[in-house]
Structure 1
């Protein structure tokens, strides 16, 4: 069995790390993840859920990979390879959701930070613990954590090498949903499925606008917004959405837990 599997659930593509007990990022798992990403890039569906099997998400990079490095040149090749994985995930044209049900260290946490959204079980814990082997994160975790939580928080998490809970990282703006441990796998998949049901072209543009803002600032994002959003007028999602709204009224709104909610409008 491959260390990384790709499955489909309707419009949702599910990528799962399957190398128990620790899902360590060794040569086999890294290669399998690269192969899986090629399959996803060829056919991403409407959304991607990344998750892991077993009791933990991942213990991080297999330290034996570091021990085998002959020199800085070999190390740079490894780190560029890992960083490319993060950038490939980030560049997927559909929403990406990372589900963390347990301990999530180093490379796995960095992979999560490359996703659009993170869903975590209440007992999940996260850490960039590279300081234990005299390194700092090389898969893009530091810079992505900085973008989400700010430079002070990024320095704190990386420099201390300590573990942080899902609720704390939710407060930092790193984790988007904290869900109960019981039934977490199903709940996380439901979140990803709801997002995947949305308008594909609009989601892709949302990702682009966010990326432009992060890289070049709000003014640069403003400069592309009107032109790019106008192109959505020609999509089927837009036409069907407008027609449905005019025929049937506003679609049902949902709370963050996915439950439909009614909004009362008082006329004066």
Structure 2
């Protein structure tokens, strides 16, 4: 947590495309600490809305500067009533966390340095988290008497177990990338995390995006209702893939020239 303010008119995020617009790279750039103030939250929400309206084949979410984020600008919380506080969290779920999770393509998060509070919670809403060895993560909302309220505790519990989630949140300590990889929160640690994340996102963008979207739907069903609920949605969700050019082309390619030769175009 920190306190700061963002100059009016500053561009706080940018979305660039690669691989013929198949890969979108969303970069947070709010120097010096990439603090989450109201303007940055609005900018990220707008970018995610644009991605949802015209989904690419994969998304990479990263940050510029020495740190991913030093946390939230505490001015965001100053003077809020109970009703206004509840509306803040509701808005962040509705405009950032849930739309990000619902993107019908793989979303990779690259953490190269310190990743606190809102940035960490956004990372937990992504499909895959990659980190540099020097990256550190923390949900430190207890310093201002809060608990993480953009989905962090429950998504940590999903990845690492409820005991680890309570430890991380209640202590407010910082955890290194290797520890969180051991816990299953971080998927992998790379010396050059930006290069590794771009390569992974590009690889996923080359794959069967509709099948990846189906995977996300099945996992989302498990998250909301367990294995039985996930099983119940599989026939429809996965069955629809038989109508896609991706599956039809890949099957033909496999039969004609063997595995690993198919190209995918579905979005």
Report the equivalent of 2:264.
none
Higher mean C-alpha displacement, 112-121 vs 192-201: 192-201
Q: Are 1:230 and 2:246 counterparts?
A: no
Secondary structure, in 3 states, of the residue corresponding to 1:217?
helix
Q: Are 1:211 and 2:220 counterparts?
A: yes
Mapped partners of 2:112, 2:80: distance in 1: 35
Mapped partners of 2:63, 2:72: distance in 1: 15
Mapped partners of 2:97, 2:132: distance in 1: 22
Runs of 4+ residues deviating >6 angstroms: none
Offset from partner CA, 1:51-71 (integer Å, 9 cap, x none): 10000000111012122x332
Q: List runs of 5+ in structure 2 lacking aligned partners.
A: 1-9, 262-267
Aligned residue among 71, 82, 86 for 2:81: 71
Report the equivalent of 1:140.
151
Mapped partners of 2:235, 2:97: distance in 1: 29
Aligned residue among 174, 178, 184 for 1:167: 178
In the comparison of the two structures, how many residue pairs are matched?
249
Normalising by the residue count of structure 2, what TM-score does the alignment of the two structures yield?
0.90
Offset from partner CA, 1:184-213 (integer Å, 9 cap, x none): 322211111111211011111100000101
1:82 CA drift (Å): 2.0
Report the equivalent of 1:5.
14
Q: Are 1:240 and 2:265 counterparts?
A: no
Q: Are 1:116 and 2:127 counterparts?
A: yes
Q: Which has the higher contact order (CA 8 A, sep 6+)?
A: 2
Mapped partners of 1:220, 1:31: distance in 2: 34
Report the equivalent of 2:93.
83
Aligned residue among 184, 196, 218 for 1:187: 196
- Please give the root-mean-square deviation of Cα atoms over the aligned residues, in Å: 1.3
Q: List runs of 5+ in structure 1 lacking aligned partners.
A: 253-268
Secondary structure, in 3 states, of the residue corresponding to 2:256?
helix
Report the equivalent of 1:48.
59
Higher mean C-alpha displacement, 75-84 vs 146-155: 75-84
Report the equivalent of 2:164.
153
Normalising by the residue count of structure 1, what TM-score does the alignment of the two structures yield?
0.90
Offset from partner CA, 1:65-115 (integer Å, 9 cap, x none): 122x33212222222222221111111111111110000000000000011
1:147 CA drift (Å): 1.1
